[in-house]
Structure 1
Amino acid sequence: MSEDPFVTHRGLLFTAAYEMLGSASEAEDVVQETWIRWDAIGEAARGEVRDPRAFLMRMLTRKALDQLRTTARRREQYVGEWLPEPLLTAPDVAHDVELAESVSFAMLTVLETLTPTERAVFVLREVFDLPYAEIADAVGKSAAATRQIGHRAREHVAARRPRVEVSPRQQQEVVDRFVAAVTGGDLQGLLDVLAPQVVLVADGGGIAQAAAKPVVGAKKVANLLGAFPKFGARARILPVLLNGAPGARIVDVADGYDTAISFAVEDGRISRIFAVRNPAKLGGLDVEATLRR
């Protein structure tokens, strides 16, 4: 007996939903709703679907668009800076360069600047290489309009995405230097690994303490992070793979909060630091996410 197409494509469906929504919990909800609809059409009707992958992606996209429009309004009222939910990922994700880039914090924060329809079209076309005719059906637009939306989204993303690619090994070396400098209280070492105009964005969601606005500049960021050694034994900083790239996790046993830290590295230095402290967003650190293209 062959495997149900939904089971076969579940990893792909979650990945697409996550890239559209930037939220692992919301992506899981959308995937589950897609399963309910898929199951409801009945076994006989499912057997007549010529391209189950396209059919499931179409159902998922419609659900994700509904969710995007709802969350867009909620995020306007979010306390402080909003960042995506981090995912614990397996090493194989980092070796798939295109997949790793598509789920990186740097990319997801750029995708946040798109409209819901632009984001869906971009993800389906640029990441999953769906034909425009299928995408048009999923987003409820004509093929011509969908092409225009895709072109506009692609230009928008290209103008804002990091332009320098680094290998996982190079990024790991930079992150290791960062962790060593922070844990050792080495201010000069920290300044050396940070780009002069590094930007630190922190998301506490009004629950955990976090900078209300982005912190810009190596000296300001280094001074903020330089307090870490004062915490002593109460805090640990651990290397982890987050969203397909080397990152770090700070566990503070005193206040009970975790912090997931993702980095963008350019020219051998850290250009952006994304620190997620909102505990409602850290559920994705418990189990490795299954990501597929």
Structure 2
Amino acid sequence: MLKNETYFIDSCDDVELNIKRESKLEFKLTYDDSKEIEAIVCVINGIGGDIKDDLYISDYCARNYNVAVLNVNYHCIGNRPQTGATYYLDDIDKLILDTSLKAISIIPPFNINHIDTFEKINHYLEYIDNQISILKLKWILDVSYILKLSITLQPTKNEYQNFGIMQATDILNALLYIRKNSPFKAMGGGIKHILVGSSHGGYLANLCAKIAPWLVDIVIDNSSHVSLTNLWRVIGFGKEVDFTKYYNFLTPNTFNHIKLYG
């Protein structure tokens, strides 16, 4: 019989940055309890996905092969709107907004520091967009002018990116937990551990193998980001260097005269 079990366990704190973890580590295990399991296959999501995205893959593999499938909601997995992240303006975003408005002589009838919800962001940007329309009609601004602003996604559970270290450790902790508390019948002589990941998930699979080579037998990497030219996406500081060049997403059509760089 096919089993789908969800676990919530304590994982590690961030010793490197001295930050205490605030939430449990969530992961899912799929297996057929009538089979003798030969391998644990850990399917690792890339940016913008979570364990809900891999239900079909997990079920298919567990039904057709003698494997148990592990899916982990690793640290800061909720970093896109589809996984629960919310839009907000951080201090740098607000500084960019304030400086940009002063440059085109728009004095907003609100305090920029009080913009603390998505509804306020949308309302205030609509006002600014309308003011730019008026300035263009008066020929104060060139008709081709576009206001370029920065916006940020706040991850769920007050988590953060740190180049994958916490994420890879979460994946390894989930794997170690299942090894120690195995609910299925394992093949004699030990079972294999196979990590499968695409994009950021592929990077994390390789990072897991680097941290714990004794635990990982096989890595299947589909298009992980290994180019040095794109490492700023994971390390950060793209916004501080040039938010219009080093951005992760762009919303050019939300407003008539504003481009938002995320």
TM-score interval, smaller chain: under 0.3
Between structures 1 and 2, the one with greater strand share? 2
Task: Give the structure with the higher percent helix.
Answer: 1
How high is the TM-score relative to the length of structure 2? 0.27
TM score, norm. by length of structure 1? 0.25
